[in-house]
Copies of this chain bind each other. A is one copy, B any other.
């Protein structure tokens, strides 16, 4: 059994991670920690864990955590992960970091996260943990930068188009809609039920910190600099991201052909499902699962491809993808723990 720890177990992502790991047949959770007032049973903090786990969530103590675990999941806020991660890497532990701290080069990180990056060594070895693009590198990675939720939904929606050199990025817009858990677990009037219920808004319009992450990966795929327009919206629901992506195509191609291409690209992927022509995904298709569902339509006259991509922000967009990465790193069945 692989011994794993979750550092930062009391956010929505942490809760989901513990839920998945507790049912995973190949791992043993050796410690859970979080910045809480005092140690507390995790199943009392999150009653949804009752009957799945019986374990105390301790205060942060990297020394102790490292002793008991071989793989550490960091479900910490950005800027905090880069302080903690080096301590585990030095002790030859492997790390899956769910924050944004290891996804971007120093200069871009500073610009978007308003902080100087403190762990160059980590940055140098970090592998961007999107299995559908990086599976080989993930296998041997010591530090995984687990992708952001929006980038996951958008990149899976666009990768085949860019890989096949069909996308014309001069028109590339991602209009994303996310559930409230995406905003984290914290006291804030703007997140309160009375404000969110019956409401809907765009936020950080074309200025969200996930933008450079999206652009960086697309640029690598396209082998030229790509810059997408990305506008996120907050929706009165708990879980899920639906991204509606508009992209120009370089040459005449129709819906059937693009779907064929996507089906081929994702044929062996356990968690990406390309829908038939005329079908588009809804959030319920993926809630609580690690799946990404894709629906595609091309306007041949305009040369415009519309892709609708749905994931659950807490699973494929965070905790589920982290476990998928773990499964790849340790040679487990990639679906282990993720189809329950």
Contact = CB atoms under 8 A, between A and B. Distances in A.
Interface in A176-218: 177, 179-181, 185-189, 191-203, 205-206
A284 B237 contact: no
A164 interface: no
Copies in the complex: 4
B51 A280 contact: no
A202 to B, nearest CB: 5
Contact of A192 (B180, B199, B284, B299): B180
Scoring A194, A195, A227 by chain B CB atoms within 10 A of each residue's CB, the highest score goes to A194
A17 to B, nearest CB: 15
In which size bucket is the chain A interface? Answer: 35 or more
Contacts of A188: 187, 192
Contacts of A185: 189, 192, 194
B284 A47 contact: yes
Scoring A238, A284, A291 by chain B CB atoms within 10 A of each residue's CB, the highest score goes to A284
Contacts of A231: 244, 306
A175 to B, nearest CB: 4
Interface in A300-332: 302, 304, 306, 308
A105 interface: no
Contact of A48 (B235, B288, B304): B288
A78 interface: no
